[in-house]
Amino acid sequence: MIKLTTDAAFREAVQADGIAVVVFKTTWCADCHYIDPFMPEVEQQYGSQIKFYEIDRDDLPDLCSELNILGIPSFIAFRNGQELIRFVSKLRKTRDEIEQFLDRAVQVADALQKG
Q: What is the pLDDT of residues 93-109, one digit of tens each?
A: 999 999 999 999 999 99
Which CATH number goes with the domain that contains 92? 3.40.30.10
pLDDT in tens, 17-61: 899 999 999 999 999 999 999 999 999 999 999 999 999 999 999
Question: Three-state secondary structure along the chain?
Answer: CEECCCHHHHHHHHCCCCEEEEEEECCCCHHHHHHCCCHHHHHHHHCCCEEEEEEECCCCHHHHHHCCCCCCCEEEEEECCEEEEEECCCCCCCHHHHHHHHHHHHHHHHHHHHC
Mean pLDDT of 70-93: 91
Q: State how many domains the chain has.
A: 1
- The one catalytic residue among 13, 19, 32, 55: 32
29 is catalytic: yes
Q: How much is the pTM? A: 0.94
pLDDT at 70: 84
64 is catalytic: no
- The one catalytic residue among 1, 9, 26, 29: 29
pLDDT at 32: 93
Closest Cα partner for 91 from 39, 33, 24, 31? 31
Which residues constitute the domain of residue 78? 2-114
Instruction: Identify the band that residue 63 occupies on the pLDDT scale cut at 50, 70 and 90.
Output: very high
Closest Cα partner for 1 from 111, 112, 98, 109? 98
